[in-house]
Copies of this chain bind each other. A is one copy, B any other.
């Protein structure tokens, strides 16, 4: 079992006697998707997931419904849950939404960032670089997303931060499907520059950098008509 490459949840389960284990399962699955261990289109059978995490289908169902709400998985009635495969259109929309939310949020963050905040961000970037050099592409991608979410948190806008979190998650799927270039280094440098602007409390610069960063990201995608490159013909037609 555990062919999905998901860490058996024993360790995570110990972290707290929290009432709902559904959240734990959902978080593990979310993380697996962020790190591209679970790719778009993969089936998430309730029994299988339940066996891996040692919980009953009740819990798994709740977790999957959460992920479905975040649009990370698609639930097809009587067929099951699948890791979502954002269409080209959805991909664009995600980045358009991010372009609407994140630049202004970065400005707010720059105006409010404390030295501790900066230190946390710096640590994020360091870890991201380390993961990248270690060849752990998935981990680097997840950390890269966390950087954006952390900025939203610093801006002290929990509601917007939550939206950005959802968008970052979906971006991870978009990247899995439509990523073109293989070198993710441009990202890291963008984050370096953003960190500097935040440390300097330069809100206007941070806003501009974020806007540019998102445009870079978008332009590094291949959003032509291919709804999925390695998707099977059957699914492609069933979805077209």
Give the B-binding residues of A (Cβ under 8 A).
Answer: 18-20, 61-62, 65-66, 69, 77-78, 90, 93-94, 96-97, 100-101, 104, 157-160, 163, 167
Contact with A93, one of B94, B97, B157 (Cβ below 8 angstroms): B157
Q: How close is A77's CB to chain B, nearest CB, in angstroms?
A: 3
Q: How close is A107's CB to chain B, nearest CB, in angstroms?
A: 11
**6 A-B pairs with least C-beta separation:** A19-B77, A93-B159, A69-B69, A97-B159, A97-B160, A163-B163
Nearest B residue to A167, CB-CB: B159
Nearest B residue to A162, CB-CB: B71
Nearest B residue to A66, CB-CB: B69
A160 engages B20 (CB within 8 Å): no
List, sorted by A's number, 12 A–B pairs whose CB atoms are closer than 8 Å.
Answer: A62-B65, A66-B69, A90-B159, A93-B159, A96-B157, A97-B159, A100-B100, A100-B101, A100-B104, A101-B101, A159-B167, A163-B163
Q: Is the interface of A mostly helix, strand, loop or mixed?
A: helix
B62 engages A97 (CB within 8 Å): no
A160 engages B104 (CB within 8 Å): no
Assembled-state Cα–Cα distance A201/B86 (Å): 31
Q: How close is A206's CB to chain B, nearest CB, in angstroms?
A: 16
Assembled-state Cα–Cα distance A61/B77 (Å): 18
Chain B residues, CB < 8 A from A61:
62
Assembled-state Cα–Cα distance A77/B19 (Å): 6
Q: How close is A174's CB to chain B, nearest CB, in angstroms?
A: 11
Q: How close is A57's CB to chain B, nearest CB, in angstroms?
A: 11
Besides the known contacts A93-B159, A94-B159, A163-B163, 8 further A-B residue pairs in the complex with CB atoms under 8 A apart: A19-B77, A65-B65, A90-B159, A96-B157, A96-B159, A100-B100, A100-B160, A159-B167
A163 engages B66 (CB within 8 Å): no
Assembled-state Cα–Cα distance A77/B90 (Å): 35
Nearest B residue to A166, CB-CB: B163
